[in-house]
Amino acid sequence: MYHQTKRKVHSLLHPEIVGDNHWDKAINIFIIILIILNVIGIMLETVDSIYLPHKKFFHDFDVFSVIIFTIEYILRVWSSNHDLRYQHKIHGRLRYMASPAALIDLFAILPFYIFLFLPAGIMTIGSDFRLLRILRLLRFFRLFRLTAYTKSTKLVLNVFKSRAHDLLLAFILTTFLVIITSCLVYFAEHDAQPEKFSSIPGTIYWAVTTLTTVGYGDIYPVTILGKIFTIAILFVGVALLALPAGIITSGFIDELRKTRKQKVCPHCGKPLTDHAEH
Amino acid sequence: MYHQTKRKVHSLLHPEIVGDNHWDKAINIFIIILIILNVIGIMLETVDSIYLPHKKFFHDFDVFSVIIFTIEYILRVWSSNHDLRYQHKIHGRLRYMASPAALIDLFAILPFYIFLFLPAGIMTIGSDFRLLRILRLLRFFRLFRLTAYTKSTKLVLNVFKSRAHDLLLAFILTTFLVIITSCLVYFAEHDAQPEKFSSIPGTIYWAVTTLTTVGYGDIYPVTILGKIFTIAILFVGVALLALPAGIITSGFIDELRKTRKQKVCPHCGKPLTDHAEH
Amino acid sequence: MYHQTKRKVHSLLHPEIVGDNHWDKAINIFIIILIILNVIGIMLETVDSIYLPHKKFFHDFDVFSVIIFTIEYILRVWSSNHDLRYQHKIHGRLRYMASPAALIDLFAILPFYIFLFLPAGIMTIGSDFRLLRILRLLRFFRLFRLTAYTKSTKLVLNVFKSRAHDLLLAFILTTFLVIITSCLVYFAEHDAQPEKFSSIPGTIYWAVTTLTTVGYGDIYPVTILGKIFTIAILFVGVALLALPAGIITSGFIDELRKTRKQKVCPHCGKPLTDHAEH
Amino acid sequence: MYHQTKRKVHSLLHPEIVGDNHWDKAINIFIIILIILNVIGIMLETVDSIYLPHKKFFHDFDVFSVIIFTIEYILRVWSSNHDLRYQHKIHGRLRYMASPAALIDLFAILPFYIFLFLPAGIMTIGSDFRLLRILRLLRFFRLFRLTAYTKSTKLVLNVFKSRAHDLLLAFILTTFLVIITSCLVYFAEHDAQPEKFSSIPGTIYWAVTTLTTVGYGDIYPVTILGKIFTIAILFVGVALLALPAGIITSGFIDELRKTRKQKVCPHCGKPLTDHAEH
């Protein structure tokens, strides 16, 4: 009976192992919606015109969410040793609590309790607690678990994994170009605009926003040399930005081929393993 | 005789079932040009220097268009039960009227009649009617029907359909990145620029215009932390923006292969079905 | 003797039919360099700090160029009936003169003679002659002839030709999105920024610079509704901009496959035509 | 003994020929970290708030680095004739010193000695020596040697090499478009904004930042004609910018196919050479 309940609780709380009955689905969807509402809530709290008139509502919703998430967390830890990886009664559960997923869950509710038990005097000190509250956003990361089991995620992950070295090289080349660009344009522009191109590290911000073609327009070259460098760098940059696109696209096409091949031979329609014999 | 006329009218009004004789083509081209002129007209009405001196002309053209489109709409409804899907005399026609295509047609001419039968006093209230007038732009959507039957549209639709899950994942990942970006940069920039980075939802606008590399320059980071976040996010963003390109390109290549395969075997030139037997 | 000279002149003036001897090459390279110098000259004439002190040099260089180009043009027309397409003595040459390539050559030197024979009084009227002078830039188009015969140009042209329908559809879809965007954002922003979003056609400029992610920052949305529309449109725009990349890339891969196939069978190394028989 | 030492030194200083023992690795990693720290140091020297209070530290670190790099350079030159290409005692070493890699090494440490032996009076003249100091950044290029031997670099280099002609054509086409764009927009905008669109070469900067979709917003069209040109050019530009992406992607896919083919036949799993015989 005890173990059956635990098994039940365990499957209830793991949305990725979708149960067949409506009860499982309902709980999972409820948790997902609560997570999404929490994220929206945290974002809306920063809009004064919405937050100030509904301060109490936001607070109540936060209390309600934390209670639900705390219950969920306790049940998760309790039922964790149903999982074969965390089988031991105490060690298993502690190891589960140390897993990244469980830590995210814990940190997502922790700020609430810190605020609750800290003396009010300290709380008013203020702005540093803001960062603590942002920890609540960690709730959002739990949604990743949902997407983590779809076919598309596996495909995208496979593409990034199989192309990791090529993408790293593209990243290194871009870093090289960014640093070289920053140095050249710094020396071209520093005297003309000492405030905007104040230092090489400061120019890196300009170089990155230019090479990625964002181009805010808060910093731009005014000297002829600076403009010529910018033009030259943008031409190189276009080819360099085409690299990740090319790498990722060829990765997708490669994954596609693998999937197709595992199913049937493209020439006679038989499975590939049979085909090799004819 | 009656049925023949209806069949004739039905085929006349469906540009996608292109009739062979010149009469069909002429009517269809006339309707298409009228739609395009209507869209141009609606756009030009907002240019005061063009609209004000030719107010009467614009009005007359609108009346003329609505008369044509009303006649067309009535004939469409009348002849709709020629179509097997809407065969019943009354129910069929009503079901046709409830179809998206017919509703677009109706809403595109409705604003004119609302203005016509409303007392002039209400009309002068003004600005809210503007939105009603914009409904006339729905006429433009009717042009979609034209493109909807070409080979290219089928290809593009197939690509988007077969890659829907992957594109959805790319969309979700981008949304995740946008929200995380907005929170981080909001906390980095809010104190320095409380008006520009006023709230997290407000920062989302900045995050989207930055990640898509638009970068208007109305909002940009000024703190060192904000700039470092921006640089980090742009590097991730470049890889993330390469995802849809990779997904769609691999989709195109896949569709291409399918089309090619259905015609001939790439190895011996025979049709694929014959090929499997040799 | 006369015909041999004409043949010689004809081959001399057609850089694409590259002669083997050094004489041919030298003349062609001289003409090419003169064209490039002319284009650079026309551009530099607009830089006051360079043009004003060297007015005479620019003029002399222009006279020298026009003399060379006029001689070249006359020799081209004279030798044109060596070409089988323009065989007839008078009609052939006239038809050659009406060909786009010859018209470009003519229009490129014509402005000089118009200035020469027009009374000086008219010339000082001024600014309208500027456009006439710009005709000299047509000389630049002659360089296209050089690239027109390389393998890469054929590849790129084949890609664009074979994908013309798909690219046209992508263009139409983008046009649709631009118009819809312009209307929505016009109605959202017109009241808040009547000068920047003054009319729908005026908003089209904003929509195009936004969707292509240029984002100058001269016009940007300030209302919440306008910002939400911008965000939504940018997400759609990213997928839409990936379309031409996908279409062109799949075109390149397709062309690649064709080239490869024409040479050898990828499976046994024999030419494809032989292969079909085994 | 002497030769063995030289061989040892030679292998120690060539990170690409990674030795197996820990000693080799430790020295190489030390040199790499020193190079990276040097680059970071040079960049931080331009940040006044960091440089001014730690002037002595930066100077000491520079002296320390130059001593290490000088020792390394001398050892490299001394051991260079271990390499078969530079076998001769004197000529070989001189030829090694003239190789690009050795010149980069030399120029990277030279500025230090120039400052050291120049009279202090000349040094204070100032700003021109800045460019000399930037030569120290050449140390950074030495990192290229590290990436130059990875599989990814070979892949990327192969892609760029095999597509060099196509990329060159894309570059030429873009240059054509940039020049044509600059001329058209110059004539449309010069009268309205004589300072921003001051000359055609000046407009080229605008054209490049627009076509690459950077769009700083320091220069933008204000006339209707200028805006129409911009819209037209951006549409062409989107297709043109998709070219390098398409070229590079098709290059990656081609390289992929070659690699795959050299291993096994995709149809029967045997190596390709065997396959041809069955």
Tell me what the mean pLDDT of segment C167-192 comes to: 90
pLDDT value, residue D85: 77
The residue that leads in pLDDT, D264 or B189, is: B189
Q: What angle do CA A142, A144, A149 make, to 5 degrees?
A: 125
Structure tokens at B219: 């909002």
Residue that wins the pLDDT comparison between B5 and A50: A50
CATH level 2 (architecture), domain B2-149: Up-down Bundle (1.20)
Which of B159, B179, B197, B200 would best serve as a mutation to test chain A binding (most A beta carbons within 10 A)? Answer: B200
Angle at Cα B255 formed by Cα B254 and Cα B260, nearest 5°?
100
Mean pLDDT of chain B: 81
What would the pLDDT profile of C199-212 be if each residue is shown by its tens digit? 999 899 999 999 99
The overall average pLDDT reported for chain C is 81
Asked whether the predicted pLDDT for residue C164 surpasses 50, the reply is yes
Tens-place pLDDT, residues A148-201? 667 788 888 889 998 898 898 889 889 889 998 998 899 899 989 999 999 999
pLDDT value of position A133 = 67
Cα B144 to Cα A237: distance, rounded to the nearest angstrom: 37
Interface residue D215 vs chain B (CB under 8 A) = yes
Q: Please indicate whether, in this complex, the C-beta atoms of D213 and B216 are within 8 angstroms of each other.
A: no
CA torsion A10-A14-A20-A24 (nearest 10°) is 80
Contact: A217, C213; criterion CB under 8 Å: no
Phi/psi at A165 (5° precision): -65, -45
- Name the pLDDT band for B151 (thresholds 50, 70, 90): confident
Rounded average pLDDT over A233-250: 90
Residue B234 to residue A253, Cβ atoms within 8 A = no
pLDDT at B126 exceeding the cut of 60: no
d(CA B176, CA C272): 50
Nearest residue to A211 (alpha-carbon basis) of A180, A246, A190: A180
Residue D224, pLDDT score: 92
Q: Which of residues 105-164 of D touch A (CB under 8 A)?
A: 127, 130-131, 134, 137, 140, 143-144, 147, 150-153, 155-156, 159
- Report how far residue A268's alpha carbon sits from residue D267's, in angstroms, rounded to the nearest whole number: 11
**Quick one: pLDDT band at residue C260, thresholds 50, 70, 90?**
confident
**Other CB atoms closer than 10 Å to residue B244's CB: what's the count?**
26
Contact D211, D181 (CB under 8 A): yes
Q: Does ipTM come in above 0.85?
A: no
* B194-239 residue pLDDT tens: 999 999 998 999 999 999 999 999 999 999 999 999 999 999 988 8
Confidence at residue A149, expressed as pLDDT on a 0 to 100 scale:
62
D98 at the A interface (CB within 8 A)? no
Q: Check if the beta carbon of residue D142 is closer than 8 Å to that of residue D28.
A: no
Q: What is the pLDDT of residues D25-48, one digit of tens each?
A: 788 788 888 988 988 988 898 888
In CATH, the number for domain B164-272 is 1.10.287.70
Q: Cβ C205–D230 below 8 Å, yes or no?
A: yes
Select, from the ranges B79-88, B105-114, D25-34, D159-168, the one with the highest average predicted confidence (pLDDT). D159-168
Shortest CA distance to A186 belongs to which of B227, D47, D34, D212? Answer: D47
Radius of gyration of chain A (CA): 27
Helix, strand, coil percentages (3-state) for chain B, rounded to 5, are 75, 0, 25
* Banded model confidence at residue C128, pLDDT cuts 50, 70, 90: low
Nearest CA in chain B to C271: B267
- Write C24-28 long-range contacts (CB < 8 A, 24+): none
pLDDT of residue C14: 66
| Contact status of D177 with chain C (Cβ, < 8 Å) | no
- Which of A135-144, A222-231, C72-81, D247-256 reaches the highest mean pLDDT? A222-231
D192 touches chain C (CB under 8 A): no
Are B87 and B81 in contact by the 8 Å Cβ rule? The answer is yes
Residue type, A70: T
Helix crossing, C224-263 with B164-189: angle to 10°?
130
Give me the residue from D137, D152, D245 closest to A169, CB to CB.
Answer: D152
When CB atoms are compared, the residue of C134, C213, C244 closest to D239 is C244
> What integer pLDDT is reported at residue C120 of this predicted model?
56
> In the prediction, which pLDDT does C278 show?
39
Contact call for B276 and A267, based on CB within 8 A = yes
With H, G, I as helix, E, B as strand and everything else as coil, classify residue C1: coil
Distances from the Cα of D39 to the Cαs of D10, D32, D69, D148, in angstroms?
Answer: 25, 11, 14, 19
Alpha-carbon span C88 to C102, nearest angstrom: 17
D269 to chain A: nearest residue by CA? A276
Confidence of residue A273 (pLDDT cuts 50, 70, 90): very low
Longest dimension (CA), chain D: 82
Residues of C in contact with D202 (CB under 8 A): 47
Instruction: Report residue C105 CA to chain centroid gap.
Output: 15
Query: Given CB atoms, is C235 within the 8 Å cutoff of chain D?
Result: no
Residues in chain B within 8 Å Cβ distance of A205: 227, 230-231
Q: How many alpha carbons fall within 13 Å on the CB side of residue C209?
A: 29
Q: How far is CA B104 from CA B16, B101, B107, B112, B141, in A?
A: 17, 5, 5, 14, 8
Residues 6+ apart with CB under 8 A from C20: none
List the single residue in A213, A216, A249 with the smallest CB-CB distance to C213.
Answer: A213
Better-scored residue on pLDDT, C248 or B142: C248
| pLDDT tens-place values along chain D, 278 residues long | 677 777 777 766 665 555 556 777 788 788 888 988 988 988 898 888 988 899 899 989 989 999 999 998 898 888 887 777 777 788 888 888 888 878 888 888 887 887 777 655 554 544 455 666 677 777 777 777 666 667 788 888 889 999 898 898 889 889 889 998 998 899 899 989 999 999 999 899 999 999 999 999 999 999 999 999 999 999 998 888 889 989 999 999 888 888 776 655 445 544 444 444 33
Whether residue B215 lies within 8 A of chain D, CB to CB, comes out as: yes
Question: What 8-state DSSP symbol labels residue C192?
Answer: T
> Neighbours of B (≥3 Cβ pairs closer than 8 A)?
A, C, D
pLDDT tens, position by position, B172-185 = 889 889 998 998 89
Which runs of consecutive H residues, i.e. helices, occur in B46-150? 48-51, 55-79, 91-97, 100-117, 120-123, 127-134, 138-141, 144-147
pLDDT computed for residue B15 by the predictor: 52
Instruction: Please answer yes or no on whether A227 and D245 come within 8 Å at the CB atom.
Output: no
What are the residue boundaries of the structural domains of chain D, listed by start? 2-149, 164-272
Using CA atoms, how far residue B240 sits from A20, B174, B272, C74, in Å, is 34, 7, 38, 58
Is residue A192 classed as helix, strand or coil in its secondary structure? coil
- CA distances, A77 to each of A8, A66, A91, A99, D221 (Å): 14, 16, 11, 11, 62
CB contact under 8 A, A238 and D147: no
In which band, very low, low, confident or very high, does the pLDDT at B61 lie, cut at 50, 70 and 90?
very high
- List, as one string, the DSSP characters of B137-201: GHHHHTTHHHHTTSHHHHHHHHHHHHTHHHHHHHHHHHHHHHHHHHHHHHHHHTTT-TTTT-SHH
- Side-chain half-sphere of D151: how many Cα atoms within 13 Å? 8
**Contact with chain B for residue D232, Cβ under 8 A:** no
Q: What would the two tokens of residue D41 be?
A: 């140091």
Asked if C171 and D237 come within 8 Å (Cβ–Cβ), the reply is no
Cβ atoms of D173 and C15 within 8 Å: the answer is no
Q: Residue C87 contacts by C-beta under 8 Å, 6 or more apart in sequence?
A: C81
Quote the Cα angle for C236-C242-C243, to 5°: 95
Is residue B174 within 8 A of residue B230, CB to CB? The reply is: no
Top residue of B136, B167, B212, B258 to mutate, by most chain C CBs within 10 Å, is B212
Backbone angles phi, psi at C264, to 5 degrees: -135, 155
Please say if the pLDDT value at position B83 is more than 90: no
pLDDT > 90 fraction of chain B, expressed in percent and rounded: 24
CA distance, residue B161 to nearest chain A CA (Å) = 14
What global pTM score does this model have? Answer: 0.84
Question: Nearest residue of B to residue A196 by CA position?
Answer: B222
Of B151, B241, B252, the CB nearest to C246: B252
pLDDT at C273: 46
Chain A CA closest to residue D132: A187
CB A184 within 8 A of CB A229: yes
Does C240 lie at the interface with D, CB-CB under 8 angstroms?
no
Nearest by CB to residue A253, choosing from B243, B250, B275, is: B250
The mean-pLDDT minimum among A94-103, B90-99, D16-25 falls in: D16-25
**What is the predicted pLDDT for the residue at C276?**
43
Instruction: Give pLDDT, residue D153.
Output: 83
Backbone torsion region of residue B159, taken as left when φ is above 0, otherwise alpha when ψ lies between -120 and 50, otherwise beta: alpha
Distance CA D125, CA D164 (A): 45
Burial class (CB in 10 A: 0-12, 13-18, 19+), A70: middle
pLDDT surpasses 80 at B167 = yes
| Three-state secondary structure call for residue D21 | coil
Residue C14 to chain D, least CA–CA distance (Å) = 20
CB contact under 8 A, B243 and A131: no
Is the Cβ pair A151, B170 closer than 8 Å? no
If you average pLDDT over residues C59-76, what whole number do you get?
90
Is the per-residue pLDDT at B240 higher than 60?
yes
Are the C-beta atoms of A28 and A18 separated by less than 8 Å? yes
What pLDDT is attached to residue A220?
A: 94
Pick from B211, B154, B156: nearest CA to B180: B211
Mean pLDDT of chain A, nearest integer: 81
D164–chain B nearest CA distance, Å: 22
Least confident residue range of A44-58, B259-273, D40-54: B259-273
